Structure 1
């Protein structure tokens, strides 16, 4: 605490103006005194000797003349062992701890430490006396679940330090000193297993930032094959209410090829947040067979909570992701939903009486969104290992309108766009990602030419489908109608996926490549069909064979039997492979 005291001069919702005498810095945390309660707040604008602060709690009862104490610290996250499996609010208060203190309904002004200060961790030193270390290098390790949690030289220490002393292997809590470092001027600095870091500052204790090239497998065929995401990349999933964003997030977090998943539920409806909190502990991690929560952190602020804490939850979650990236781990951050965060910015901008941009969002909205997504990345660490933070943000545009400012600002900075459509979700085509409007800049798990060939079938089929709505089935040629049926088959057997089936939901890279080749072989062939009824009957039978094939374990006896039935049906239709499909399959061998 700095001992700097101000007093409230005006209140406008959760924006409070405070008059002060000493020095105050931007983004400094302060405490508004309301009786015996202290409400955590953040300085967001300073004009002369008046600071405007956003209060992270309800402002009922605050009156002019109330004391405000400036702490001198920025909003910071506690970094150390014990983060995994936790459920936090946007200010990193562990919600189960607050529930024990206050019951079902949390009282304002009630805060708790982000880490358990009493729990003992088995510390193993990796540095010795005399070693020279820098910020971001580790001096020891502790086991945390299935991971080796590295204990770092705090990120805020500049320059080089010499290890003066370090404790023996043993059990210590996160506040106990485990090492003493000496700086270049001979000053001693005590280091514990935990430290604080300002959430609005990116952690940059890495050697090099690399281009994201390695595909992050999600086991979702539509994403991995056609609109892939790279480790260290960014993607967004805009879509209307009820289009399946939450289920897609659950599937991604369960099967994605990452070490740690962080979910930031910023401003979602309370019902959806409760669903996440109740379902995630019950989800089984297919890698370990244990609870998915053991490698997950949930940070939640519902839409009924004060808007300022929505912004805090976004920054807190990405700070925790960067911290685990520093250990050489691959982290996936799912932000749901960035639209609610943008609405919080709009509300605060209005109270600050700033000049509004499009749809009353602040003019700097694009900069804020870009700064958030730019904290993703694939990096090389000082010890030569690599780590990544992949950010996937869902956007909830009103009425599914992708032209609104938040979606457009997001599209400018992300590397992949998975647009969910109301039409597909209403038709129960899940995942409801529209293949005709989605795109990705990253490398697919299948050959790009094969991916483009499948997309061309979908586009051509959609054009024929639109034409059939006007002229009817009778007005189309047999060739066009067959192409339309093939595009519908590709959609049904490859793009659509059952998230609740253990086999179909978990479609690995080898299986996707194998099935894609088989599909190109089937869809790239011409068949001996006399009329449209025969074509419909044949393609529908083939489609059902493929759907049954999707539910069999890859390369199992059932898988091979289902494939032989597909081959038999192909022979029955006298299939003849086209030259283009044949060249594609030869190139891929």
Structure 2
């Protein structure tokens, strides 16, 4: 019997036991049965192997063959990834739709990038050049914004012996030939393969120092995300995780977005797939898809492919990072990925840990988030990967294992609150329980690029919100009227911060994205109001009189009425606040 062919012995959903598989390797990709279903060897015990199948196993029978491919589960990296929509194991859904209108058929094989499309290639090396891993040997202008740099694969180096002329080539055409020690010839094409579970190498990690600008005030001003950072975005059903991620994908200043729809409901992913191609990139006025890769793995797709989808996404992100780009990954949601892990581990008969999840859940989450970072690439470019992972805790319970473990491995935690969501306060990021570990790292950047007192102002506003939370407990017991004027002013200022600053309307042309300078000046306006009103309170002016001034309405309308390019109006408003409350003090003195 052929040692590279196993025999299907038992089938349990996506888990298949095979005999005669002693020559196979763990993590090797295999094809199973007459339909050649794609699978991966997850464990070996002598001649018996356990295979995780990435497609539906309906119709598979005991006795069918399992064939070796000799390589681990890998993705093809090359031109054609940007703007494409893939399933969890990098099969293009547009191509599959042409083959089967409604469902992904079994046994279609590991389709990858379009092998027939020709790309305009510019060769950047000449005969005699010495190349080492990570160096650029050719470029393709994949979209108007993204120059696709073709990099010498890892473990490949040599002297350029032959180069093809600039022109049109497919991803499998050889464009550069290297020679090693004048004997071995190495062909460089437009594509390369990489195993998804293995991180791509870098030169070195460098300290995080710049923020990922999102235009969302509660994030940029209160809980900043760093380029190269990790973010947990937990929230119960209906709290706005997906909309928040869409806003981040559209407005953040990353060069490339990788959006992984991991186990979400089909109708929700349909919205993403229909909406994203229509979105316009505000920086170029071109389609947003020209810098986006979508990975769609809905809850009714095979569970094993869902488990692989986040590795597929992060490997693609690392490939573009190696070109020197800033990449942002949106994983929506890691809870569904963890559920897939739980289901597979149950079928593999592994010992369950907390709430049925496998004991290795924390290490798998850590492996994923550790692939983020701010790095120097092999070509000595500076580049980043930022991971924003949504978490969907059942019933909004943040003490469940996926949320708790995510909290251990991320440095920014933007907790979405169902009370805020039900009160129509969006984004529903809880401004008291959320945190960012990047504030100190980014302090120098904020001081130099926004204002020296930006973070002091942020701290002052958070303290006011915390005081308001304590005062609310008293108000609920005895009512607001018994509070002294200075405490009533804290309540009023906190109301203005929440309504005029933290609430943001994604559907409003002026409010959907706010530049950092305007965010700072909005906080400055609120601070000016607080200080001027406090001076009034100190000389005995009733809070009702302070509240009665129409200038408060002007503060609440800033976000809608003052555009990002007319910030001088905010200076005028600050002067108006000073004049109004100075006049008020003169009346009472």
- Per the TM superposition, whether the score is higher than 0.5 is yes
TM-score scaled to structure 1, two decimals?
A: 0.93
Cα displacement string for residues 499-549 of structure 1 (whole angstroms, at most 9, x for unaligned residues)? 1122212111222222222222222331536444334434xx444312322
TM-score scaled to structure 2, two decimals?
A: 0.93
Residue 229 in 1 paired to residue 225 in 2?
yes
Residue 516 in 1 paired to residue 523 in 2?
yes
Farther-moved stretch of structure 1 (207-216 vs 264-273): 207-216
Give the match for residue 545 of structure 1.
554
The count of residues paired between Structure 1 and Structure 2 equals 568
Q: 1:95 aligns with which of 90, 93, 96?
A: 93
What secondary structure is seen at the aligned counterpart in 1 of 2:33?
A: strand
1:124–1:46 Cα change, 3 Å: same
Q: 2:171 aligns with which of 169, 174, 186?
A: 174
> What's the offset of the Cα at 1:14?
1.4
1:406–1:542 Cα change, 3 Å: farther
Give the match for residue 296 of structure 2.
300
Distance in 2 separating the partners of 1:487 and 1:211: 35
Give the match for residue 107 of structure 2.
109
Residue 25 in 1 paired to residue 25 in 2?
yes
Give the match for residue 573 of structure 1.
581
Unaligned runs of 5+ in 1: 578-589
Tell me, yes or no, if the aligned pair for 2:525 and 2:570 is still in contact at 8 Å. no
Residue 40 in 1 paired to residue 57 in 2?
no
Distance in 1 separating the partners of 2:564 and 2:512: 16
> What's the offset of the Cα at 1:383?
3.5
> What's the offset of the Cα at 1:360?
1.0
Residue 351 in 1 paired to residue 347 in 2?
yes
Give the match for residue 287 of structure 1.
283
> What's the offset of the Cα at 1:318?
0.4
Please show how residues 64-463 of structure 1 align to structure 2 within 5 Å.
64-111=62-109, 113-145=111-143, 146-155=145-154, 157-158=155-156, 160-184=157-181, 186-204=183-201, 206-442=202-438, 443=442, 445=446, 447-463=454-470
What secondary structure is seen at the aligned counterpart in 2 of 1:164?
A: strand
> What's the offset of the Cα at 1:310?
0.7
Unaligned runs of 5+ in 2: none
Give the match for residue 534 of structure 1.
545
Tell me, yes or no, if the aligned pair for 1:93 and 1:114 is still in contact at 8 Å. yes
Give the match for residue 581 of structure 1.
none
> What's the offset of the Cα at 1:26?
1.0
Distance in 2 separating the partners of 1:537 and 1:248: 35
Aligned CA-pair RMSD: 2.0
> What's the offset of the Cα at 1:45?
1.1
Farther-moved stretch of structure 1 (111-120 vs 213-222): 111-120
Distance in 2 separating the partners of 1:143 and 1:561: 42
Distance in 2 separating the partners of 1:409 and 1:22: 36
Tell me, yes or no, if the aligned pair for 2:485 and 2:543 is still in contact at 8 Å. yes
Tell me, yes or no, if the aligned pair for 1:82 and 1:116 is still in contact at 8 Å. yes
> What's the offset of the Cα at 1:249?
0.9
What secondary structure is seen at the aligned counterpart in 2 of 1:72?
A: strand
What secondary structure is seen at the aligned counterpart in 2 of 1:333?
A: strand
Where has structure 1 moved over 6 Å in runs of 4 or more?
A: none
> What's the offset of the Cα at 1:184?
4.1
Give the match for residue 587 of structure 1.
none
